Amino acid sequence: MKQTHIMHITYDMRIGGTEMVIKNIIDGLTQPKSDTNRHSRGHLVGNPESLEPQLKHNGDESFKMSVLCIESPLGPFAEELQENGIEFFELNRQPGFDTNLIRQVRRTIKDNSVDIIHCHQYTPWVYGVIAAVFTITKVIFTEHGRFYPDSCSWKRKLINPILNLFTDQVTAISKATKQALVEFENIPEKSIDVIYNGIAPLTFNAEKAQALRQTLNIPDEHTILGTVARFDPIKNHTMMLKAFAKVLMSQPKCTLLIVGDGEERNNIEQCITELNIENNVILSGYESKPAEHIALMDVFLLSSLSEGTSMTLLEAMSIGKPCVVTNAGGNPEIIINKQNGIVTENNNADEFSHAISTLLISKEQTIKYGEQSKIMFKQLFNENIMNGKFSSLYQWKNL
């Protein structure tokens, strides 16, 4: 049987949510030359009928996959995939609208007999769909998230419906993202399907987690609140810190563990100093594999101003963590208020603080929310479910 060649078109394959989704799809729907770099896989869950395509094709040789990055360097995820025999094509997008890039993408598609290009995020879609016009290659576009505040130019509202005519399927990672495509990008609602991000359940070493607690000098009697997110203004760490300072007034035996790094570090450090909470906040820095850090957290926090589907939020859910999140983007679709966590108004430190305090006071509620997080993860966000849906989509669009 002839393999269906799917080429993923993206910016690069550095560490990030979009890149992790691409890697999970490739890992789940191809047969690697070696299993040494494959992460542990979860058990199949959910409706057996909905998973039938995944059960049939997951890990077999129905699909050949490659990745075309329009920017460089490729990044660490590329190295792992290349070791498993995945072919990469590296281009160098120039500032402005790069017409030469269109020719390069088109030549790559034709020379490699690509059946489907799967474009991840808006700019790769624009270049990909124009390059594929009047070829036999089908086009799938996945929107992975939105900027804050959301907006769109009149030029895009004019051109996007035309691009959509040459696109075989648009998918969004949340209902909120889908609605943004309709409202801001002028893409017809009927053209868009929602496929939630999926990941493998987080695995961690309990002994290493306990050793990490000792290394970080977190007192045994302290409840650990925490988050894993890049230090970017859109993640709104400063609001989280202000809320945490309020929590400490009534619940002093708490530690806030913040994993990550980035351009906002100086502002975050300054905020910690101004709030006089240095003794209760730990900035651990960037961690490529923060499993033990997340395992230490009693409550997972996400204070983003905008969010698609947070991968670290899904990781926390997979090991049964109750969560407090803002109602940004896809957050309230993942955390159902008062079911597996608490959803608060965006950028509201008082509400965020109250939600955290509510969970600290009620251990019974915290346990209940944690159990529900794990159940919901298995039902909706396991990578096998996402891969099954993309497997079906690839087969259907290649008929």
The DSSP annotation for 143-173 comes to E----SS----HHHHHHHHHHHHT-SEEEES
Q: In Å, what is the CA distance from 121 to each residue of 11, 40, 97?
A: 8, 27, 16
- Top CATH class of 4-200+382-397 equals alpha beta
At which residue do the structure tokens 């790094």 appear?
Answer: 261
Superfamily of domain 206-380: Glycogen Phosphorylase B; (3.40.50.2000)
**Percent of the chain residues topping a pLDDT of 90:** 84
* For residues 310-328, average pLDDT: 97
- Name residue, tokens 């997340």: 294
pLDDT for 147 equals 74
* Number of other residues whose CB lies within 10 A of the CB of residue 360: 19
Q: Cβ distance 228 to 290 under 8 Å?
A: yes
Which pLDDT does position 117 carry in this prediction? 98
Q: What's the whole-number mean pLDDT along residues 333-359?
A: 97
Mean pLDDT over residues 318-325, rounded?
Answer: 98
Instruction: Tell me the average pLDDT across 245-266.
Output: 97
**Residue 230 CB neighbour total at 10 angstroms:** 17
As a three-state string, the secondary structure of 80-128 is HHHHCCCEEEECCCCCCCCHHHHHHHHHHHHHCCCCEEEEECHHHHHHH
Residue ranges matching CATH 3.40.50.2000 in the chain: 4-200+382-397, 206-380
Q: What is the pLDDT of residue 63?
A: 95
**Distance, CA of 141 to CA of 151 (rounded, Å):** 19
Query: pLDDT tens digits, residue range 114-173?
Result: 999 999 999 999 999 999 999 999 999 999 987 777 778 889 999 999 999 999 999 999
Contact 238, 268 (CB under 8 A): yes
Q: Is residue 299 pLDDT above 70, yes or no?
A: yes
Residue 336 in this model has a pLDDT that exceeds 50: yes
What is the mean predicted confidence (pLDDT) over 206-226? 97
The residues that bridge with 226 in the sheet, in sequence order, are 257, 300
Mean pLDDT on 10-37: 82
Q: How far apart are CA 196 and CA 366, in angstroms?
A: 25
Residue type, 48: P
118, 204, 390 from 77: Cα distances, Å: 17, 20, 20
Average pLDDT, the chain: 91
- The yes-or-no verdict on residue 2 having pLDDT over 90 is no
Going by C-beta distance under 8 Å and a sequence separation of 6 or more, which residues neighbour residue 114?
A: 5, 6, 7, 66, 108, 137
Residue 44 has pLDDT above 70, yes or no: no
H or E element, residue 224: strand 223-228
Task: Give yes or no for residue 56 having a pLDDT over 80.
Answer: no
Angle at 184 between CA 179 and CA 185, to 5 degrees: 95
